[in-house]
Structure 1
Amino acid sequence: MIRSALDTGGEEYRRRRAAMLAKLADLDAEHARAVAGGGEKYVERHRRRGKLLARERIELLLDPDSPFLELSPLAAWGSDFPVGASVVTGIGVVEGVECVVIANDPTVRGGASNPWTLKKTLRAADIALRNRLPLVNLVESGGADLPTQKEIFIPGGRVFRDLARLSAAGVPTIALVFGNSTAGGAYVPGMSDYVVMVRERAKVFLGGPPLVRMATGEEADDESLGGAEMHARVSGLADYLAEDEYDALRAGRSIVRSLNWRKRGVEPYPVLEPAYPAEELLGIVPEDLRVPFDPREVIARLVDGSAFEEFKPLYGTSLVTGWARVHGYPVGVLANARGVLFSEESQKAAQFIQLAGQSRTPLLFLQNTTGYMVGKEYEQGGIIKHGAMMINAVSNSTVPHLTVVMGASYGAGNYGMCGRAYDPRFLFSWPSAKSAVMGPAQLAGVLSIVGRAAARARGQEYDEEADAAMRAMVESQIEAESLPFFLSGRLYDDGVIDPRDTRTVLGMCLSAVNSAPVPPAAGYGVFRP
């Protein structure tokens, strides 16, 4: 068992905890913006129509008192679109079955899909396919946000392709239609395995009455063109005709119950709580990410019984590797200790990742890295080929990967530690996380050095005042673009989470990945010696 050396009564711990709590207050405020949807005016209008809100529909669909792991709640943060991207996605339990749920939020521009809605929806479908989780769509959408159609139309076809691929893979797709589902959006129920429509509420058509009038001259009303009863009695698109929203949600639960769904992964061992409270995670990460911290203090508060069998503890000590369990599921952990990855750490990581592949053990990456070490000594020592060895191992590993960005995630260290580009099954960030090609000061300094060299080559005098202004501007820009809200808004993670919730989130993710069978063993490319 890990013996914690964390001084929870010390000034340093209290300072770090206070900084994290301030960041969490900001996170709560941003989540509140997402929950508010289109704002009080449009929420009230929606309620006057006798309709439930997106999150209320989800709550009634899920088993009572069961958790819901919301994904990408900050999507579109920092863009011209509302935070949340007019759709709610996540993983919840329906009739004892873990399902991916996608719910349009009609209080935001009628539930129309903007570019961030599309990215968020595609990510949810990818999670459903890779982890073999039934997909439930709670549909009420006006289709594409027309002013941004150039960013939606071409890639938007993947939504329907993904529904077809899920069905072909034997993963059920279910659509509960509560309101409009028009234009391309009509193919969501059209391509789902099961379709429930609410009487006098659901309207599903490729072209609504105005478009039909313009295209053909035909006069048609909503009901005869695409009403729920018409689709139940005439077109056959609706499999179930619900009397109201509550009836539709009951039907959805009944469909999931009739699937006789079985998980195909491993069964967890009995669960042991960590020996140390999750509350203490708030005071571990320093506000200045240049200051190292011991990731074993984090591991001790995440893993079952705080038990950790460390691998190669005396070699490559900037990277901690070892075996543990989280909520009864075995995991291999890779955690950055001092940020920089040297040749020894890279080789250690590659070996450990291969061992996890041999035992079919999922990998948990706890990121706090400034990247691979640079300098003449390290280049001559083979840092490129050793870093490539680690990235090769990560790229070809077939066991599920889970990633948590605790602190820094800079340069190629982001790649070696399984950043978004390496397709971890799930990736979450703490509010303390930062990610960029390099730190703001380093990046600005590199540009300054390049600028000086260019001026010298041209025989010009370098403008120091302009250089200072450039450095300040670049540092400010890179700092803003490396913050977790900015990155989460672009779906470079699956959400920014409270550190205290990390163990619960990981447990839900490990349970979800075990809905799918254990993947086959990996094949590897050439490891350059």
Structure 2
Amino acid sequence: MAILSSRLDAAAPEYDARRAAMLARLGELAAEHAKAVAGGGPKYVERHRARGKLLARERIELLLDPDSPFLELSPLAAWGTDYPVGASVVTGIGVIEGVECVINASDPTVRGGASNPWTLRKSLRAAEIALRNRLPLVNLVESGGADLPAQKEIFIPGGQVFRDLTRLSAAGVPTIALVFGNSTAGGAYVPGMSDYVVMVKDRAKVFLGGPPLVKVATGEEADDESLGGADMHARISGLADYLAADEHDALRIGRRIVARLNRLNRREPGAALAAAPPPRYDEDELLGIVPEDLKIPFDPREVIARIVDGSDFDEFKPLYGPSLVTGWAALHGHPIGILANARGVLFGAESRKAAQFIQLADQSRTPLIFLQNTTGYMVGREYEQGGIIKHGAMMINAVSNSTVPHITIVMGASYGAGNYGMCGRAYDPRFLFSWPSARSAVMGPAQLAGVLSIVGRAAAEARGQIYDEEADVAMRQAVEAQIEAESLPFFLSGRLYDDGVIDPRDTRTVLGLCLSAIGNAPAAAPAGYGVFRM
């Protein structure tokens, strides 16, 4: 065994400062999460309850196995936009009758559950996770369809929702729709394209065109029930496979459907978690590791020691390319390989080390965890002449073509091509989560403003003009403020560049749930790599 020894001094002033800064950010995160949980606010929540209906999260809780975890995805979707935080839908992974499933639940307290552009992106991400990890998809439907003022951003890309349902079914991944209320217009195709459909009597309404549209289009007089009521669909159209007496009955039927899918994971969910030895160091200490100033490096082994089983980590090439830590471990009983940035900058040696390590993981079919804190690949004459481009390309080639599952945690900086080499969102990790300390952009705010200043100064000189120094100062300040705001984790998570911002203390649990979900999909074929430039 190779047990990591922690050098973290929890009594040091810098530890207290880092912990305090992280707790402040977590307080901000809790406030934003509370907005998503509040849905449409007290007025619309009470109106919904007065109709005898359950809230979206209450439906999820009753659907899941008692006391089982629910990994909510993209809870900050739409943050910083004109739409409510959460994007009027709740998505996540939970266990139903012992089967891990993806759940997509409309929140009807937010504009009747209508879909805005961020609702669409969030739902598409949930469907992607279901397909890649072969997890049954359960839609809890109560939505008035598209938010019509935003139709130009929803209508055309929204067709992918229905395409994804058919592709899931074709891949042998079950799709289930529990319809609690309206599922109209294009939304009618959610139950229409699902493998199993449950409708709540006297509540569910599923039709392509409601009574007003039918009147305008055809002149026909019709009521909701005859057009799309649950009883009609159960008796006449055949769209409903099950007619539920009420919401609780619909959730009970949904659980029984999942129980009969013959889809149990190869292991009991949670079994590996119970058997795995916990880390030897307190997870609470993760709060005091990342400096508030991300230009100050920190040792990622302190993080690894607090998330892997027994703090047991076999480091690979520990003396070569020291700015990148690589090695083997287990997490909740799942074998993993880890790549973690140690000093921010990636040099040629680190790039070659990463490429070799990724190839070894592919050969042994071991999932990879990327712990990001990188300012990118090193620049400068010496490094360009030494081949940093081709070495960085080698690492990115390996990441791009590796076929084992990848999971990324952005702990600190994630700048430039380092974001790519360390498996950022564009490189298709199965899951990607951020800590509140994370920052991500093409480069740091000060560096970006400095580059623009140099370019502007050179342009003025080329035109024979005197450079405006006062305007330069104002430009630098404005650019730095903009880039700082746009690199914050809430901003990035609001645009679904990650699957959520998490408390560092939850990292081990989140990774364990992701690895368990990944275990539902069959292993992909070994990688076939392109040309490595040597």
Shorter-chain TM-score: which interval? over 0.9
Structure 1: which 4+ aligned runs deviate by more than 6 Å? Answer: none
Distance 2:345 2:337 in 1: 20
Residue 63, structure 1, aligned to residue 61, structure 2: no
Distance 2:267 2:358 in 1: 20
Residue 211 of structure 2 corresponds to 209
- SS of the residue aligned with 2:507? helix
Residue 140 of structure 2 corresponds to 138
Residue 502 of structure 1 corresponds to 507
8 A contact 2:279–2:306 mirrored in 1:
yes
What is the letter of the counterpart of residue 176 of structure 2? I
Distance 2:266 2:533 in 1: 36
8 A contact 2:115–2:143 mirrored in 1:
yes
Residue 197 of structure 1 corresponds to 199
1:31 corresponds, among 27, 30, 33, to 33
What is the letter of the counterpart of residue 223 of structure 2? D
Alignment of 1:44-443 (within 5 A): 44-263=46-265, 268=272, 270-443=275-448
Distance 1:121 1:257 in 2: 24
8 A contact 1:66–1:92 mirrored in 2:
yes
Alignment of 1:477-492 (within 5 A): 477-492=482-497
- SS of the residue aligned with 1:149? helix
Could you tell me how far 1:271 is from its partner in structure 2? 0.6
Distance 2:249 2:11 in 1: 54
What is the letter of the counterpart of residue 146 of structure 1? L
Q: Percent identity over the alignment?
A: 83
Task: Flag the 1:326–1:288 CA change in 2: closer, same or farther, 3 A.
Answer: same
Which has the larger displacement, 516-525 or 318-327?
516-525
Could you tell me how far 1:520 is from its partner in structure 2? 1.2
Could you tell me how far 1:262 is from its partner in structure 2? 3.2
Alignment of 1:455-474 (within 5 A): 455-474=460-479
Distance 1:77 1:188 in 2: 26
Distance 2:341 2:123 in 1: 32
Which has the larger displacement, 261-270 or 193-202?
261-270
Could you tell me how far 1:264 is from its partner in structure 2? 5.5
8 A contact 1:264–1:516 mirrored in 2:
no
What is the letter of the counterpart of residue 95 of structure 1? E
- SS of the residue aligned with 1:366? strand
Residues 473-500 of structure 1, C-alpha deviations (whole Å, 9 max, x = no match)? 0000000000000000000000000000
- SS of the residue aligned with 2:337? strand
Q: Structure 2, unaligned stretches of length 5 or more?
A: none
Residues 418-445 of structure 1, C-alpha deviations (whole Å, 9 max, x = no match)? 0000000000000000000000000000
Residues 437-468 of structure 1, C-alpha deviations (whole Å, 9 max, x = no match)? 00000000000000000000000000001110
Distance 1:496 1:273 in 2: 23
What is the letter of the counterpart of residue 141 of structure 2? V
Residues 284-307 of structure 1, C-alpha deviations (whole Å, 9 max, x = no match)? 000000000000000000000000
Distance 1:219 1:66 in 2: 48
Distance 2:153 2:523 in 1: 37
Distance 1:12 1:196 in 2: 56
Q: CA RMSD in A?
A: 1.0
Could you tell me how far 1:518 is from its partner in structure 2? 1.6
- SS of the residue aligned with 1:154? helix
Could you tell me how far 1:408 is from its partner in structure 2? 0.1
- SS of the residue aligned with 2:166? helix
Distance 1:233 1:84 in 2: 37
Distance 2:143 2:191 in 1: 12
Could you tell me how far 1:265 is from its partner in structure 2? 8.8
Distance 1:216 1:373 in 2: 67
Distance 1:210 1:78 in 2: 35
Distance 1:169 1:157 in 2: 19
Residues 255-312 of structure 1, C-alpha deviations (whole Å, 9 max, x = no match)? 0000111335999594110000100000000000000000000000000000000000
8 A contact 1:265–1:515 mirrored in 2:
no
Q: How many residues matched? A: 529
- SS of the residue aligned with 1:506? helix
Residues 84-137 of structure 1, C-alpha deviations (whole Å, 9 max, x = no match)? 000000000000000000000000000000000000000000000000000000
Task: Flag the 1:242–1:290 CA change in 2: closer, same or farther, 3 A.
Answer: same
- SS of the residue aligned with 2:464? coil
- SS of the residue aligned with 2:71? strand
8 A contact 2:91–2:102 mirrored in 1:
yes
- SS of the residue aligned with 1:412? helix
Residue 451 of structure 1 corresponds to 456
- SS of the residue aligned with 1:73? coil
8 A contact 2:98–2:264 mirrored in 1:
no
- SS of the residue aligned with 2:7? coil
8 A contact 1:74–1:489 mirrored in 2:
yes
8 A contact 2:352–2:394 mirrored in 1:
yes
8 A contact 2:309–2:329 mirrored in 1:
yes
Distance 1:517 1:508 in 2: 17
Distance 2:436 2:499 in 1: 13
Residues 206-227 of structure 1, C-alpha deviations (whole Å, 9 max, x = no match)? 0001111111111100000000
